[in-house]
Amino acid sequence: MIFVTGGAGFIGANFVLDWLAQSDEPVLNYDKLTYAGNLNNLTSLNHDKRHVFIKGDINDNAQLLALFFEYQPRAILHFAAESHVDRSIHGPAAFVTTNVNGTFNLLEAARSYWMTLEGEAKTDFRFLHVSTDEVYGTLEKDDPAFSETTAYAPNSPYSATKAASDHMVRAYHHTYGLPVLTTNCSNNYGPYHFPEKLIPLIIANARAGKDLPVYGDGLQVRDWLYVKDHCTAIRRVLEAGKPGETYNVGGWNEQTNISVVHTLCDLLDELQPKAQGSYRDQIKHITDRPGHDRRYAIDARKIEKELGWKPQETFSTGLRKTVEWYLANDAWTKQVQSGEYLKWVAMQYEDEDEV
């Protein structure tokens, strides 16, 4: 079986659903169920014996060790993290606790377990660490895209903690020989994306008749990848990646934020038109994110050449599927927009004047 951390979050849940749609190999899904973890992402697996869910914190060494020895996973796929840049600006401590200390603790538990394995079980074991392109910092307009050899230069508390975790993962390979793999992916979008992040936030606010908040001039660039393409890349790296290597994952799809917001408004105008006017009328430019990285772009040639992975969705097909998913899954959005979410929205967006 495989052991997945953070499998009730956005990418982790998509990964678990995809995995069990393609394979009968069971999944132990280990998640703390923070505000971002949601078992409603996994309701289709409610009666599926291949999926075992355990609520737990990656900082709990004793629980991790007990589970590793009981279930004997052949791989650990580490998605669990605090993942929202804006939250890391308001409260970095939780990011250090989970992303740095938690990853360290998970590595320690994995190492203790792995050391007891023998023969093929030991050589075939994998620890796959899911990381981000944000560890590379920011690009100027004409800079080449981030490659696996770009120097780390994280700028936010979130990216600094992810960078620290990447370094620990690397060190566990070089020092102890733990067979690790790291993926550094660009911005994901798709079903089950928590509506604190740009794309689901814009869809939810547009439909609720609220402002569509665009930080600063909206000309920051992100490189968007449909979440299921990220899941395919992770499966491919697990299957054929070389231990100790890192793989950049991206969709060759750079977009300015304002262009993403315009495209979302146009899709909603087509699929669920307002009585009057366009959703674009709700756009409001607000104060920029402190330390906002201007541009991310991924050079995905290594994973394409060495592992034969390529994204299947274009931005146009992926974004349409995403908007259609949100239109068909109102109940999901309403459920996640509960107490904790409302507090966050009030703190981050209320009293924001137009800039």
- Which tokens go with 94? 């939780």
Does 130 sit near ligand NAD (CB under 6 A)? yes
Here the tokens at position 142 are: 């004409």
Binder of ligand NAD out of 26, 73, 102, 213 (CB under 6 A) = 102
Among candidate residues 31, 57, 82, 133, the one labeled active-site is 133
Give min distance, CB of 298 to ligand NAD, in A: 10
Active site residue 133: yes
List of residues contacting ligand DAU (CB under 6 A): 83-85, 132-134, 186-187, 197-198, 201, 213-215, 220, 222, 257, 289, 296
Site membership for ligand NAD, residue 109 (CB under 6 A) = no
Active site residue 134: yes
> Pick from ligand DAU, ligand NAD, none: which does 11 bind, CB < 5 to 8 A by kind?
ligand NAD
Among ligand DAU, ligand NAD, none, what binds residue 310 when CB lies within 5 to 8 Å by partner kind? Answer: none
Surface-to-core class of residue 325, CB atoms within 10 Å of its CB (0-12 exposed, 13-18 middle, 19+ buried): middle
Asked whether the beta carbons of 156 and 209 are under 8 A apart, the reply is no
In the beta sheet, which residues pair with residue 256? 221
Partner touching 238 among ligand DAU, ligand NAD, none, CB below 5 to 8 Å by kind: none
Among candidate residues 30, 113, 158, 296, the one labeled active-site is 158
State how far the Cα of 88 lies from the Cα of 186, in Å rounded to an integer.
Answer: 18
Is position 81 an interface residue for ligand NAD (rule: CB under 6 A)?
Answer: yes
Site for ligand NAD in 141-200 (CB under 6 A): 162, 185, 187-188, 194
User: Rounded distance, CA 59 to CA 101, Å?
Assistant: 7
Main-chain phi, psi angles of 35, to 5 degrees:
-55, -25
Piece in contact with ligand NAD (CB under 6 A), picked from 9-17, 69-77, 114-122, 252-260: 9-17
**Which alpha helices (DSSP H) does the chain contain, by range?**
10-22, 61-71, 85-90, 93-95, 103-116, 119-124, 157-176, 198-207, 227-240, 257-271, 301-307, 315-328, 330-336, 339-349
Show the tokens assigned to 208: 């609720």
Would you tell me which residues interact with ligand NAD (CB under 6 A)?
5-6, 8-12, 31-34, 36-37, 57-59, 79-83, 98, 102, 130, 132, 162, 185, 187-188, 194
Q: Which residues are annotated as catalytic?
A: 133-134, 158
